Chain A
Amino acid sequence: MSTWTSDATAPRSTWFLRGVRAAFSLPGLILVSSFIGFAALAKDAGVTAVQAAFMTGTVWALPSMVVLVGAIASGAALPAAMFAVTLSAIRLMPMVMALAPEMRTGKTPQWVLYLLAHFVAVTSWVLAMERLKRVPPHMRTTYYAGIGGTLVTTNITVVTVVYAVADALPSAISAALLMLTPMYFLTSLWGSARERAGHVAMVLGLVLGPVFHMVLPQIDLLVAGLIGGTVAYGLRLWRLKVRAA
Protein backbone atom coordinates (compact mmCIF):
# COMPACT_ATOMS: atom_id res chain seq x y z
CA MET A 1 0.00 0.00 0.00
CA SER A 2 1.38 3.38 -0.98
CA THR A 3 1.45 6.21 1.50
CA TRP A 4 0.50 9.76 0.63
CA THR A 5 3.81 11.18 1.78
CA SER A 6 5.37 10.27 -1.58
CA ASP A 7 3.14 12.71 -3.49
CA ALA A 8 2.23 15.16 -0.77
CA THR A 9 3.37 17.89 -3.14
CA ALA A 10 0.82 16.99 -5.85
CA PRO A 11 -1.27 20.06 -6.77
CA ARG A 12 -4.81 20.63 -5.53
CA SER A 13 -6.37 19.81 -8.92
CA THR A 14 -4.77 16.34 -8.81
CA TRP A 15 -6.39 15.60 -5.47
CA PHE A 16 -9.73 16.88 -6.73
CA LEU A 17 -9.50 14.50 -9.70
CA ARG A 18 -8.55 11.63 -7.42
CA GLY A 19 -11.70 12.36 -5.43
CA VAL A 20 -13.69 12.31 -8.69
CA ARG A 21 -12.18 8.94 -9.55
CA ALA A 22 -13.00 7.57 -6.08
CA ALA A 23 -16.68 8.26 -6.81
CA PHE A 24 -16.54 5.79 -9.72
CA SER A 25 -16.47 2.68 -7.56
CA LEU A 26 -18.78 -0.12 -6.48
CA PRO A 27 -20.51 1.97 -3.78
CA GLY A 28 -20.93 4.72 -6.38
CA LEU A 29 -22.46 2.25 -8.84
CA ILE A 30 -24.88 0.91 -6.22
CA LEU A 31 -25.87 4.49 -5.43
CA VAL A 32 -26.59 5.18 -9.12
CA SER A 33 -28.80 2.09 -9.27
CA SER A 34 -30.76 3.27 -6.25
CA PHE A 35 -31.22 6.72 -7.82
CA ILE A 36 -32.61 4.94 -10.87
CA GLY A 37 -35.06 3.35 -8.45
CA PHE A 38 -35.81 6.71 -6.86
CA ALA A 39 -36.54 8.33 -10.21
CA ALA A 40 -38.97 5.50 -11.06
CA LEU A 41 -40.64 5.97 -7.67
CA ALA A 42 -40.89 9.77 -7.94
CA LYS A 43 -42.25 9.65 -11.47
CA ASP A 44 -44.83 7.13 -10.37
CA ALA A 45 -45.88 9.44 -7.51
CA GLY A 46 -46.50 12.33 -9.91
CA VAL A 47 -43.36 14.36 -9.13
CA THR A 48 -42.03 16.23 -12.18
CA ALA A 49 -38.52 15.70 -13.60
CA VAL A 50 -37.46 19.22 -12.58
CA GLN A 51 -38.70 18.69 -9.02
CA ALA A 52 -36.95 15.32 -8.77
CA ALA A 53 -33.66 16.73 -10.09
CA PHE A 54 -33.96 19.74 -7.77
CA MET A 55 -34.66 17.42 -4.84
CA THR A 56 -31.59 15.33 -5.69
CA GLY A 57 -29.35 18.41 -5.60
CA THR A 58 -30.82 20.12 -2.55
CA VAL A 59 -31.87 17.27 -0.24
CA TRP A 60 -29.25 14.69 -1.27
CA ALA A 61 -30.28 11.96 1.14
CA LEU A 62 -32.29 9.13 -0.41
CA PRO A 63 -34.37 8.11 2.63
CA SER A 64 -35.40 11.74 3.18
CA MET A 65 -36.21 12.10 -0.51
CA VAL A 66 -38.39 8.98 -0.46
CA VAL A 67 -40.17 10.28 2.65
CA LEU A 68 -40.67 13.63 0.90
CA VAL A 69 -42.04 11.99 -2.25
CA GLY A 70 -44.39 9.92 -0.10
CA ALA A 71 -45.59 13.07 1.65
CA ILE A 72 -46.18 14.86 -1.66
CA ALA A 73 -48.02 11.83 -3.06
CA SER A 74 -50.30 11.46 -0.03
CA GLY A 75 -50.98 15.21 0.07
CA ALA A 76 -49.58 15.63 3.58
CA ALA A 77 -49.48 19.14 5.05
CA LEU A 78 -46.18 21.01 5.05
CA PRO A 79 -45.51 20.75 8.83
CA ALA A 80 -46.16 16.98 8.85
CA ALA A 81 -43.93 16.45 5.81
CA MET A 82 -41.20 18.60 7.27
CA PHE A 83 -41.32 16.78 10.60
CA ALA A 84 -41.05 13.36 8.97
CA VAL A 85 -38.17 14.47 6.73
CA THR A 86 -36.43 16.10 9.69
CA LEU A 87 -36.66 12.88 11.68
CA SER A 88 -35.41 10.79 8.74
CA ALA A 89 -32.39 13.09 8.32
CA ILE A 90 -31.24 13.09 11.95
CA ARG A 91 -28.77 10.30 11.25
CA LEU A 92 -26.80 12.75 9.09
CA MET A 93 -25.67 14.68 12.17
CA PRO A 94 -23.53 11.97 13.80
CA MET A 95 -22.11 11.16 10.37
CA VAL A 96 -20.99 14.75 9.83
CA MET A 97 -19.73 14.87 13.41
CA ALA A 98 -17.45 11.94 12.66
CA LEU A 99 -16.27 13.23 9.28
CA ALA A 100 -15.66 16.94 9.99
CA PRO A 101 -12.69 16.40 12.36
CA GLU A 102 -11.02 14.23 9.68
CA MET A 103 -11.06 17.14 7.25
CA ARG A 104 -10.39 20.00 9.64
CA THR A 105 -6.88 21.40 9.87
CA GLY A 106 -5.91 24.55 11.74
CA LYS A 107 -6.30 26.58 8.53
CA THR A 108 -9.56 25.14 7.21
CA PRO A 109 -12.17 27.93 6.91
CA GLN A 110 -15.42 27.07 8.68
CA TRP A 111 -17.55 27.85 5.58
CA VAL A 112 -15.74 25.18 3.57
CA LEU A 113 -16.80 22.54 6.10
CA TYR A 114 -20.40 23.79 6.12
CA LEU A 115 -20.45 23.68 2.33
CA LEU A 116 -18.95 20.19 2.13
CA ALA A 117 -21.32 18.93 4.84
CA HIS A 118 -24.09 19.17 2.24
CA PHE A 119 -22.46 16.30 0.32
CA VAL A 120 -22.65 13.99 3.33
CA ALA A 121 -24.90 10.99 2.73
CA VAL A 122 -24.24 7.30 3.22
CA THR A 123 -22.17 6.59 0.08
CA SER A 124 -19.84 9.60 0.08
CA TRP A 125 -19.41 9.20 3.82
CA VAL A 126 -18.42 5.54 3.57
CA LEU A 127 -15.98 6.31 0.74
CA ALA A 128 -14.47 9.25 2.63
CA MET A 129 -14.11 7.52 6.00
CA GLU A 130 -12.32 4.69 4.21
CA ARG A 131 -9.98 6.78 2.01
CA LEU A 132 -9.33 10.13 3.71
CA LYS A 133 -6.62 8.59 5.88
CA ARG A 134 -4.46 8.21 2.79
CA VAL A 135 -4.92 11.84 1.70
CA PRO A 136 -2.62 14.57 3.06
CA PRO A 137 -4.62 16.54 5.69
CA HIS A 138 -4.55 19.87 3.85
CA MET A 139 -5.90 18.20 0.67
CA ARG A 140 -8.77 16.33 2.31
CA THR A 141 -11.45 18.98 1.76
CA THR A 142 -10.48 19.14 -1.93
CA TYR A 143 -10.58 15.36 -2.25
CA TYR A 144 -13.98 15.17 -0.59
CA ALA A 145 -15.32 17.95 -2.83
CA GLY A 146 -14.29 15.71 -5.75
CA ILE A 147 -16.16 12.69 -4.36
CA GLY A 148 -19.28 14.60 -3.28
CA GLY A 149 -19.53 16.88 -6.32
CA THR A 150 -19.21 13.95 -8.70
CA LEU A 151 -21.82 11.83 -6.93
CA VAL A 152 -24.35 14.70 -6.82
CA THR A 153 -23.96 15.78 -10.46
CA THR A 154 -23.89 12.20 -11.76
CA ASN A 155 -27.10 11.30 -9.97
CA ILE A 156 -28.92 14.47 -11.03
CA THR A 157 -28.12 13.37 -14.58
CA VAL A 158 -29.24 9.82 -13.85
CA VAL A 159 -32.60 11.00 -12.46
CA THR A 160 -33.21 13.20 -15.52
CA VAL A 161 -32.34 10.40 -17.95
CA VAL A 162 -34.60 7.87 -16.17
CA TYR A 163 -37.53 10.30 -16.39
CA ALA A 164 -36.94 10.57 -20.13
CA VAL A 165 -36.88 6.83 -20.81
CA ALA A 166 -39.09 5.37 -18.04
CA ASP A 167 -42.28 5.28 -20.14
CA ALA A 168 -40.63 3.12 -22.78
CA LEU A 169 -39.65 0.37 -20.33
CA PRO A 170 -41.47 -3.00 -20.10
CA SER A 171 -43.43 -3.40 -16.87
CA ALA A 172 -41.17 -6.16 -15.46
CA ILE A 173 -38.19 -3.79 -15.71
CA SER A 174 -40.18 -0.97 -14.07
CA ALA A 175 -41.11 -3.31 -11.24
CA ALA A 176 -37.46 -4.31 -10.82
CA LEU A 177 -36.42 -0.62 -10.71
CA LEU A 178 -39.00 0.12 -8.02
CA MET A 179 -37.60 -2.79 -5.99
CA LEU A 180 -34.09 -1.23 -6.01
CA THR A 181 -34.84 1.45 -3.41
CA PRO A 182 -36.17 -0.81 -0.62
CA MET A 183 -33.35 -3.33 -1.20
CA TYR A 184 -30.72 -0.61 -1.12
CA PHE A 185 -32.12 0.75 2.16
CA LEU A 186 -32.60 -2.70 3.66
CA THR A 187 -28.93 -3.62 3.19
CA SER A 188 -27.30 -0.22 3.79
CA LEU A 189 -29.35 0.51 6.91
CA TRP A 190 -28.52 -2.86 8.44
CA GLY A 191 -24.83 -2.41 7.65
CA SER A 192 -24.60 1.12 9.06
CA ALA A 193 -26.37 0.39 12.37
CA ARG A 194 -23.75 0.86 15.05
CA GLU A 195 -25.36 -0.95 17.98
CA ARG A 196 -27.78 -3.83 18.34
CA ALA A 197 -30.52 -1.37 19.27
CA GLY A 198 -30.26 -0.14 15.67
CA HIS A 199 -31.06 -3.61 14.33
CA VAL A 200 -33.96 -3.98 16.78
CA ALA A 201 -35.29 -0.56 15.71
CA MET A 202 -35.02 -1.61 12.09
CA VAL A 203 -37.02 -4.82 12.51
CA LEU A 204 -39.68 -2.96 14.52
CA GLY A 205 -39.91 -0.23 11.88
CA LEU A 206 -40.27 -2.76 9.05
CA VAL A 207 -43.33 -4.23 10.75
CA LEU A 208 -44.81 -1.06 12.28
CA GLY A 209 -44.59 0.94 9.02
CA PRO A 210 -47.13 -1.17 7.11
CA VAL A 211 -49.27 -1.63 10.26
CA PHE A 212 -49.62 2.12 10.85
CA HIS A 213 -50.02 2.68 7.13
CA MET A 214 -53.35 0.89 7.50
CA VAL A 215 -54.32 2.48 10.83
CA LEU A 216 -52.99 6.04 10.56
CA PRO A 217 -52.04 6.62 6.90
CA GLN A 218 -51.35 10.37 7.32
CA ILE A 219 -48.68 10.04 10.00
CA ASP A 220 -47.69 6.37 9.67
CA LEU A 221 -43.95 6.95 9.31
CA LEU A 222 -43.72 9.34 12.26
CA VAL A 223 -45.63 7.05 14.61
CA ALA A 224 -43.67 3.97 13.50
CA GLY A 225 -40.39 5.86 13.96
CA LEU A 226 -41.25 7.26 17.39
CA ILE A 227 -42.66 4.00 18.78
CA GLY A 228 -40.13 1.65 17.15
CA GLY A 229 -37.22 3.87 18.17
CA THR A 230 -38.40 4.29 21.76
CA VAL A 231 -39.04 0.55 22.22
CA ALA A 232 -35.60 -0.33 20.80
CA TYR A 233 -34.00 2.24 23.07
CA GLY A 234 -35.96 0.98 26.08
CA LEU A 235 -34.88 -2.61 25.40
CA ARG A 236 -31.27 -1.44 25.26
CA LEU A 237 -31.54 0.34 28.62
CA TRP A 238 -33.18 -2.74 30.13
CA ARG A 239 -30.43 -5.02 28.78
CA LEU A 240 -27.68 -2.74 30.07
CA LYS A 241 -29.34 -2.77 33.50
CA VAL A 242 -29.64 -6.56 33.53
CA ARG A 243 -26.00 -6.89 32.57
CA ALA A 244 -24.92 -4.44 35.27
CA ALA A 245 -26.96 -6.21 37.97
Chain B
Amino acid sequence: MFILVAGFAATDIWRFLGVYLGGKLSEDSDLLVLVRTMATALVAAVIGNLIVFPGGALAHTSFGLRIAAAALGFVAYLASGKRMAVGIATAEFLLLAGLYLNF
Protein backbone atom coordinates (compact mmCIF):
# COMPACT_ATOMS: atom_id res chain seq x y z
CA MET B 1 0.00 0.00 0.00
CA PHE B 2 2.82 2.34 0.96
CA ILE B 3 4.54 1.51 -2.33
CA LEU B 4 1.34 2.09 -4.28
CA VAL B 5 0.66 5.54 -2.84
CA ALA B 6 4.19 6.89 -2.31
CA GLY B 7 5.68 5.14 -5.33
CA PHE B 8 3.24 4.41 -8.12
CA ALA B 9 0.92 7.40 -7.71
CA ALA B 10 3.80 9.81 -7.11
CA THR B 11 5.59 8.82 -10.33
CA ASP B 12 2.76 8.13 -12.76
CA ILE B 13 1.06 11.45 -12.06
CA TRP B 14 3.96 13.10 -13.93
CA ARG B 15 3.82 10.64 -16.79
CA PHE B 16 0.08 11.29 -17.22
CA LEU B 17 0.58 15.05 -17.00
CA GLY B 18 3.25 14.68 -19.67
CA VAL B 19 0.81 13.03 -22.09
CA TYR B 20 -1.83 15.61 -21.26
CA LEU B 21 0.49 18.56 -21.67
CA GLY B 22 2.44 17.11 -24.60
CA GLY B 23 2.74 19.93 -27.11
CA LYS B 24 0.88 22.46 -24.94
CA LEU B 25 3.77 23.61 -22.76
CA SER B 26 7.22 24.53 -24.04
CA GLU B 27 10.07 22.39 -22.74
CA ASP B 28 12.18 25.51 -22.24
CA SER B 29 9.70 27.42 -20.12
CA ASP B 30 11.30 28.92 -17.01
CA LEU B 31 9.08 26.96 -14.65
CA LEU B 32 10.13 23.66 -16.21
CA VAL B 33 13.80 24.63 -15.93
CA LEU B 34 13.39 25.29 -12.19
CA VAL B 35 11.50 22.04 -11.74
CA ARG B 36 14.22 20.17 -13.60
CA THR B 37 17.08 21.67 -11.58
CA MET B 38 15.30 20.77 -8.32
CA ALA B 39 14.68 17.21 -9.47
CA THR B 40 18.28 16.91 -10.64
CA ALA B 41 19.66 18.20 -7.33
CA LEU B 42 17.44 15.75 -5.44
CA VAL B 43 18.62 12.74 -7.42
CA ALA B 44 22.22 13.98 -7.10
CA ALA B 45 21.68 14.11 -3.32
CA VAL B 46 20.66 10.44 -3.51
CA ILE B 47 23.90 9.64 -5.36
CA GLY B 48 25.99 11.56 -2.81
CA ASN B 49 24.37 9.69 0.08
CA LEU B 50 24.81 6.30 -1.60
CA ILE B 51 28.54 6.96 -1.94
CA VAL B 52 29.23 8.78 1.35
CA PHE B 53 26.82 6.80 3.60
CA PRO B 54 26.39 3.41 1.89
CA GLY B 55 24.78 0.31 3.38
CA GLY B 56 25.60 -3.38 3.40
CA ALA B 57 28.93 -4.64 2.13
CA LEU B 58 29.80 -1.27 0.62
CA ALA B 59 29.78 0.26 4.13
CA HIS B 60 32.83 -1.87 4.99
CA THR B 61 34.94 -0.20 2.28
CA SER B 62 36.91 2.95 3.05
CA PHE B 63 35.47 6.38 2.30
CA GLY B 64 38.58 7.35 0.29
CA LEU B 65 38.34 4.29 -1.93
CA ARG B 66 34.67 4.91 -2.75
CA ILE B 67 35.25 8.58 -3.56
CA ALA B 68 38.33 7.80 -5.67
CA ALA B 69 36.57 5.00 -7.59
CA ALA B 70 33.49 7.16 -8.28
CA ALA B 71 35.49 10.26 -9.20
CA LEU B 72 37.90 8.44 -11.54
CA GLY B 73 34.98 6.50 -13.03
CA PHE B 74 33.29 9.80 -13.77
CA VAL B 75 36.50 11.19 -15.32
CA ALA B 76 36.73 8.06 -17.51
CA TYR B 77 33.09 8.60 -18.54
CA LEU B 78 33.83 12.19 -19.61
CA ALA B 79 37.15 11.29 -21.28
CA SER B 80 35.55 8.49 -23.31
CA GLY B 81 33.03 10.89 -24.81
CA LYS B 82 30.25 10.20 -22.26
CA ARG B 83 30.19 6.42 -22.57
CA MET B 84 28.31 5.21 -19.50
CA ALA B 85 29.64 1.66 -19.77
CA VAL B 86 33.25 2.96 -19.61
CA GLY B 87 32.55 5.09 -16.53
CA ILE B 88 30.73 2.35 -14.66
CA ALA B 89 33.29 -0.34 -15.53
CA THR B 90 36.20 1.90 -14.47
CA ALA B 91 34.65 2.66 -11.08
CA GLU B 92 33.83 -1.01 -10.48
CA PHE B 93 37.32 -2.13 -11.49
CA LEU B 94 38.96 0.43 -9.17
CA LEU B 95 36.68 -0.53 -6.29
CA LEU B 96 37.43 -4.24 -6.67
CA ALA B 97 41.15 -3.60 -7.19
CA GLY B 98 41.18 -1.42 -4.08
CA LEU B 99 39.40 -4.10 -2.03
CA TYR B 100 41.80 -6.75 -3.30
CA LEU B 101 44.78 -4.59 -2.30
CA ASN B 102 43.16 -3.85 1.08
CA PHE B 103 42.82 -0.11 0.70
| Interface residues in chain A, defined as those with a beta carbon under 8 Å from any beta carbon in chain B | 26, 30, 33, 40-41, 44-45, 51, 54-55, 58-61, 63-68, 70-73, 78, 81-82, 84-101, 104, 110, 113-114, 117-118, 120, 171-172, 174-176, 178-191, 193-195, 197-198, 200-210, 212-213, 220-222, 224-230, 232-233, 236
Closest to A63 in B: B43
Asked if B18 and A186 sit within 8 Å, CB to CB, the answer is no
| Interface residues in chain B, defined as those with a beta carbon under 8 Å from any beta carbon in chain A | 2-19, 21-23, 25, 27, 32-58, 60-61, 66, 69-70, 73-74, 77, 82, 84-85, 87-88, 91-92, 95-96, 99-100
Q: Beyond A92-B11, A209-B47, A225-B39, is A100–B96 a contact (Cβ under 8 Å)?
A: no
> Which B residues lie within 8 Å of A175 (CB)?
56-58, 60-61, 95, 99
Asked if B38 and A81 sit within 8 Å, CB to CB, the answer is no
Separation of A63 and B57 alpha carbons in the complex (Å): 21
Closest to B73 in A: A183
| A–B pairs, 16, beta carbons within 8 Å | A41-B55, A82-B6, A87-B39, A96-B15, A97-B18, A104-B22, A172-B96, A174-B57, A176-B92, A176-B96, A190-B82, A202-B44, A205-B44, A206-B44, A210-B49, A229-B38
Asked if B46 and A179 sit within 8 Å, CB to CB, the answer is no
Total A-B residue pairs with C-beta atoms closer than 8 Å? Answer: 309
- Residue from A191, A195, A202 in contact with B41 in the complex, judged by beta carbons closer than 8 Å: A202
Asked if B19 and A114 sit within 8 Å, CB to CB, the answer is yes
Asked if A94 and B18 sit within 8 Å, CB to CB, the answer is yes
> Which B residues lie within 8 Å of A78 (CB)?
2, 5-6
Separation of A26 and B11 alpha carbons in the complex (Å): 26
Asked if B11 and A182 sit within 8 Å, CB to CB, the answer is no
- Of B37, B51, B92, B96, chain A has the most CB atoms within 10 Å of the CB of B37
> Which A residues lie within 8 Å of B60 (CB)?
171, 175
Asked if B37 and A220 sit within 8 Å, CB to CB, the answer is no
